[in-house]
Structures are given as C-alpha cells and as structure tokens.
C-alpha cells in the first residue's frame, strides 16, 4: 500500500486520521495529568476527566447553538475519533469503499470527495439543527463515519455491479459489502443517535451528487488541486526554462527589427542558431543559410 504513496490518496487520509487521533489523545493525557485530582469543571460542576468532556466538546460537531461558540468544529470533527476501535473500524471501511472509487476514477477525486462529504454534510447538519433546535437524540459527532457513509454511497453509485475478488473463483458483490456496513451501523442509529444519522445522510447525498456530476463530464474536485498548485507555486522557485528564454530572445529580436534598430552580425547569428535549435536547419531560408555559411567562413 505504501509503494505508490504519492498516488494513493486513501493512505494519506488514513495516516492523517491516525495523526489526528494521536494529537487528540495526547491533549487528553496532558489534561488528565495536569487536572487537580483528575477533576474538571464542566458547567459549574466538577466531573471526572474523560475524553468526552475534556476534548470532544472542542473538536466534535455539535448542534447550531454550540457551533456559534466554536465555529472551528466544522473542520475538526472528521479528523479525530473517540477510541482506537472506532478509528480502526472507520479506516478499514473507508479503504474498502474508497479503493473502489480510487481504482475507477483516480486518486485525485478522493481528497475533494472527502472534504465535500464532511464539510457540506456538516453544514447541512447545522442547518437542520438551526431549524430544529430540539432535535431528539442530540449528540456530538466525532469521527470519519459520515465520510465512510459518503464513500459507500459513492462507490455503489459509481459501480453497482462491482465485485471484490478474493481468488480466481470467489468474489463478493459490492452491494453485499454495503449491506453489511449499513446493518452494522443501523444499530447505532436506532439507539437514538439522530445527529449522527443526519450527518451520515447528508454526506451520502453529497457523494451521490458528486458522482452524478462526474458522470455528466464535470470535475467538481478540480478546484482542490488548482488551489494546491497555486499555493505550492508561491513557495517553489521557478526553474530555468531554455525554450522560454529562447522565445524571449526571438521576440526581442523581432521587436528591434520593427523599431528600426540595426542588428549586429553577432545578434543575427545568435538568432539563426536559436532557430536551428528549435526548428532544425531545414527551417532556414536560402538567405539565412547563405548568411550562416558566410559567418562560418569568417570564423
């Protein structure tokens, strides 16, 4: 999986999620060590320090009223998980469905789809909770489950007949894998976790629309790499381009002719040599060939 790292966006996402998990738990351990008697003041009441009261309120996606006080949570909630098993499960499912997408439409659609899933899905969730503040089962949403749901819907929309081959004869249809994934997560939704259901449903709709746009010939994720190339260009020194340099010399030579500037014999020879270098000797006119021949006799 690491042999083609530069062209494997899924591995980059998995490593980034692992780093987010490590950073979140590192902060939790620091708070746990520094808190007096491992007690934390929450809403005016001292509580035992836990991950869900020390870290989650500051990075997890929450209803609109809490978002107004912590607007950055729309960008952080998908990059950390509440536990190792949640991280492992989500990453395995994401690689499962994401590999289908990456193999069929390329790695350059993975990162834009990931961002669209959790940003637009999170915004839809915020709109729902703003219009319906008393939504039942309101909980914090932390982790990449909405993105995994989006990848699952994107893969089945892209290739409904896709099969995972485990050997020469044994294969599993994609829809069976999707059904298993949905059944395993329905249990979590049925326990009253309505907020997670809203975000996952929103991400699924975003992924469905994304694939439909791709099939219509559009590239909704192209902006991501254009922005990345622009930013990279700000910090990357420009390399010497011989062709561009020669083109500038030719343009300068022609402009001097138009302005009535008397061109020296050395400049004329340089121009002819540049022309040969770009287009070959046969591109010279009879006069230019004669001029070059006379110059060679002089030297």
Beta carbons within 8 Å of 6's beta carbon, 6+ residues apart: none
**How far does CA 240 lie from the centroid of its chain?**
30
Strand partners, 42: 45
pLDDT at 260 over 50: no
pLDDT in tens, 57-92: 999 999 898 899 999 999 999 999 989 999 999 999
User: Which of 85, 50, 97 has its CA nearest to residue 207?
Assistant: 97
Show the domains of the chain with their CATH numbers.
5-234 (1.20.1540.10), 242-298 (no CATH)
275 or 124, higher pLDDT: 124
**Tens of pLDDT along 181-214?**
999 887 766 566 788 888 999 999 999 999 999 8
Which pLDDT score is estimated for 13?
Answer: 93
Determine how many CB atoms are found less than 10 A away from the CB of residue 15: 13
- Chain centroid to CA 21: how far? 18
Can you give 218-265 as a three-state secondary structure string?
CCCCHHHHHHHHHHHHHHCCCCCCHHHHHHHHHHHHHHHHHCCCCCCH
Residue 240 has pLDDT above 60, yes or no: no
């Amino acid at each position: 999986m690491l042999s083609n790292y530069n062209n494997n966006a899924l591995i980059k996402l998995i490593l980034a999620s692992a780093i987010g998990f490590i950073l979140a738990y590192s902060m939790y351990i620091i708070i746990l060590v520094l808190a007096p008697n491992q007690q934390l003041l929450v809403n005016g009441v001292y509580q035992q320090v836990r991950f869900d009261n020390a870290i989650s309120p500051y990075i997890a996606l929450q209803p609109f009223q809490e978002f107004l006080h912590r607007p950055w949570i729309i960008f952080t909630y998908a990059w950390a998980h509440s536990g190792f098993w949640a991280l492992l499960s989500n990453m395995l499912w994401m690689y499962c469905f994401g590999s289908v997408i990456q193999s069929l439409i390329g790695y350059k659609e993975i990162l834009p789809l990931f961002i669209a899933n959790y940003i637009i899905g999170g915004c839809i969730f915020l709109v729902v909770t703003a219009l319906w503040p008393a939504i039942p089962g309101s909980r914090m949403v932390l982790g990449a489950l909405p993105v995994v749901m989006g990848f699952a819907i994107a893969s089945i929309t892209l290739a409904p007949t896709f099969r995972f081959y485990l050997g020469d004869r044994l294969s599993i249809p994609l829809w069976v894998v999707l059904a298993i994934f949905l059944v395993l997560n329905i249990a979590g939704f049925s326990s009253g976790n309505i907020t997670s259901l809203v975000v996952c449903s929103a991400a699924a709709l975003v992924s469905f629309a994304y694939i439909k746009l791709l099939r219509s010939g559009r590239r909704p994720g192209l902006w991501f790499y254009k922005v990345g190339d622009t930013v990279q260009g700000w910090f990357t020194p420009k390399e010497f381009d011989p062709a561009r340099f020669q083109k500038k010399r030719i343009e300068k030579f022609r402009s001097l002719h138009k302005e009535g500037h008397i061109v020296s014999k050395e400049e004329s020879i340089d121009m002819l040599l540049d022309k040969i270098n770009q287009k070959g000797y046969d591109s010279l006119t009879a006069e230019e060939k004669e001029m070059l021949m006379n110059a060679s006799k002089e030297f």
